[in-house]
Structure 1
Amino acid sequence: MIYGIGTDICDIRRIRNSLEHHGERFAAKVLSEGEMKMYRARSQRWPERGIRFVATRFSAKEAFSKAVGLGMRMPMTWRHCEIGKLPSGQPTIILHGELKTWFEAKGLNAHITVTDEVDYAASFCVVETQA
C-alpha cells in the first residue's frame, strides 16, 4: 500500500550558484560522507558532473522527504538520507541514524528515480508500507 508520494524539480543553475558562493560547505551540508567522495571524484574529472550530482541528490532527498511526510525536520536530515546505486544502475535510498530507525519501525520501503537535463534535475519517490 502506498504510504506517500513525493516529487521535486531543482534548478541546476541555483545549485551551481550555491556551490560557487559557499564552495564545498554547501555540498557537505546536502551530501552524506559517501556522496561527498563521489562528488569530489566527479568534480575533479568534469566540474559540471559534480554540480549535476549535487542537484540530483538535492532533488531526490526533497522528493523522499515529501513522500515520508516529514519535510526537512527530524528525523529527516540531508546527511541521514543517501542516494546510492544498485549494481544495475538503479538509484536507491540508503538511510542512516535516527531516520533509518524511524523508517524501519514504520515498516516502509522506498523507490526513487532521478533525472537531469540541461538546467533541471528532477526526482520522483514512492514510499510504501510492507503490510
Structure 2
Amino acid sequence: MIYGIGTDICDVRRIQASLNRHGERFAKKVLSEGEFATWQMRSQRWPERGVRYLATRFSAKEAFSKAIGLGMTLPMTWRSCEIGKLPSGKPVVLLQGALKDWFDSRHLSAHITVTDETDYAASFCVVEVTV
C-alpha cells in the first residue's frame, strides 16, 4: 500500500549560487559524511559534476521528505537521509538515527529515482507500507 509520493525539481544554478555564498558549509549541511566525500571527489575532478551531484541529493531528500509527509521537520534532517546506490547504479534511500527508527516503526520502504540535466535535477519518491 502506498504511504506517500514525493517529487522535487531543483535548479542546479540555485545550488551553485548557494555554494558560491556559503562554500563547503552548504554541502556539509545537506550531505551525509559518505555523500560529502563523494561530492568532494567529483568536485575536484569536474566541478560542474560535483554541483549536479549535490543538486540531485538535495532534490532526492526533498522528494523523500514529501513522500513521508514530514517535510524538513524532525525526525527528518538532511544528514539523517542518505541517497546511496546499489552496484547496479540504482539509487537507494539509507536512513540513520531517529529518522530510521521512525521509518522502521511504521514498516515503510522507499523507492527513489534521480535525474539531472544541465540546469535541473529532479527526483521522484514512492514510500510504501510493507506489512
Q: Is it true that 1:102 corresponds to 2:102 in the alignment?
A: yes
TM-score, scaled relative to structure 2? 0.99
Runs of 4+ with >4 A deviation: none
Measured in 2, the distance between the counterparts of 1:66 and 1:47 equals: 29
TM-score, scaled relative to structure 1? 0.99
Measured in 2, the distance between the counterparts of 1:45 and 1:97 equals: 32
Measured in 2, the distance between the counterparts of 1:83 and 1:93 equals: 5
- Shift in Å, 1:25: 0.2
The residue correspondences of 1:1-131 to structure 2 (distance < 5 A) are 1-131=1-131
Measured in 1, the distance between the counterparts of 2:68 and 2:35 equals: 21
Which letter maps to 1:119? D
Task: Give 3-state SS (helix, strand or coil) of 1:20's partner.
Answer: helix
Measured in 2, the distance between the counterparts of 1:50 and 1:29 equals: 15
Question: How many residues are paired up?
Answer: 131
- Shift in Å, 1:14: 0.1
Q: Superposition RMSD on alpha carbons, in Å? A: 0.4
Measured in 2, the distance between the counterparts of 1:53 and 1:27 equals: 10
**1:64-85 per-position Cα deviation (integer Å, ceiling 9, x unaligned):** 0000000000000000000000
Which letter maps to 2:78? W
Task: Give 3-state SS (helix, strand or coil) of 2:92's partner.
Answer: strand
Measured in 2, the distance between the counterparts of 1:88 and 1:31 equals: 22
- Shift in Å, 1:118: 1.2
Which letter maps to 1:43? S
Unaligned residue ranges in structure 1 (runs of 5+): none
